[in-house]
Amino acid sequence: MRKVRFKLCYCLFTLLFVVSRVDANETIRSSVSPEFRDGLQEKYLRYLAKKMDMDLKIYPMPFARRIRAIKKGEIDIMVGVKGAQPISDNYDKLQPSYEQVQSLYFVRSKDADILVKREDLKKLVVGLTIDEQTTLKNSEKKYLDIVTVTTLNQKIELLLLGRIDTFLHFGQSAHYVLKQKGLADKVIKASLKDGIKNDYYIIISTQSPLYQYKNKFESAIKHSIEANDFKRIRQQHYEALLAK
């Protein structure tokens, strides 16, 4: 009889432990580019998951696929979304913006002088990462033509093949990838002094079971900005890469 009671108590204790763990450890489903596993965005996600006391599951996808996934509730949150991203009933931008990043134009070194002033953009075919038709329409007026791509590698390849004249990308990450590929002397920053500064947001799916924690996410982001944690993570990330 004692053995039966002991087993019953043990089973109840185990069940309570499992239930309490499930309640205590929600899992954030998110995604990053397959090109940049263990990259900066993934480090931001790990940091945020730790701040939220949640587990993290990463599903690598291109940007456009990530947007579709978050609209369907297949992932919960996504980092690296521009403030200009069209509004949707399927996701909310968590406030405030977690960082402001400058994107730069890159050209072939032999064409270093084709992009000196903004008016030059109207004569050039540019490679852009665009997922929404609205964003595409807003960009069409700036350039001679646009070739839409999903990865930085595609932008570099198209530029070297002469399919595009320039591409726009995060300055720090583009410089690093070009250095790693041994292409820093063939693809350089355009002479145009200013690139484009964008505010970047974390978005949360309105279909997500974690949407109930929206205010908690926003509080964590705000406190992290005040502590300069996102800046610190970015700086450490690129310092480590450049030291390799």
| Consecutive H or E run containing 98 | strand 91-108
| Consecutive H or E run containing 58 | strand 55-58
Torsion of CA 214, 217, 219, 224, to 10 degrees: -160
Q: What is the pLDDT of residue 133?
A: 53
Q: What is the pLDDT of residue 191?
A: 93
In this structure, are residues 152 and 80 in contact, taking their beta carbons and an 8 Å threshold?
no
Q: What Rg value do the Cα atoms of the chain yield, rounded?
A: 22
Sign, CA torsion 236/238/242/244: positive
In this structure, are residues 105 and 115 in contact, taking their beta carbons and an 8 Å threshold?
yes
In this structure, are residues 160 and 108 in contact, taking their beta carbons and an 8 Å threshold?
yes
Q: What is the pLDDT of residue 87?
A: 85
pLDDT tens by residue, 82-130: 888 888 999 999 999 999 988 899 999 999 999 999 999 999 999 998 7
The full length of the chain comes to 244
Dist CA 142 CA 138 (whole Å):
8
The domain limits of the chain are 2-81+206-242, 101-197
Q: What is the 3-state composition of the chain as percent helix, strand, coil, each rounded to the nearest 5?
A: 50, 25, 30
pLDDT higher than threshold 50 for residue 4: no
Read off the amino acid at residue 124.
L
- Give the whole-number percent of the chain exceeding pLDDT 70: 86
Topology of the domain comprising 2-81+206-242: D-Maltodextrin-Binding Protein; domain 2 (3.40.190)
Provide the pairing of β-strand 145-148 with 125-128: parallel
Dist CA 204 CA 77 (whole Å):
4
**For the domain 101-197, what is the CATH superfamily, name and number?**
Periplasmic binding protein-like II (3.40.190.10)
| Consecutive H or E run containing 238 | helix 229-242
Mean pLDDT on 20-48:
85
Q: What is the pLDDT of residue 173?
A: 85
Tell me the CA end-to-end span of the chain in Å, nearest whole number: 65
Mean pLDDT on 54-72:
95
Mean pLDDT on 62-75:
94
Q: What is the pLDDT of residue 197?
A: 86
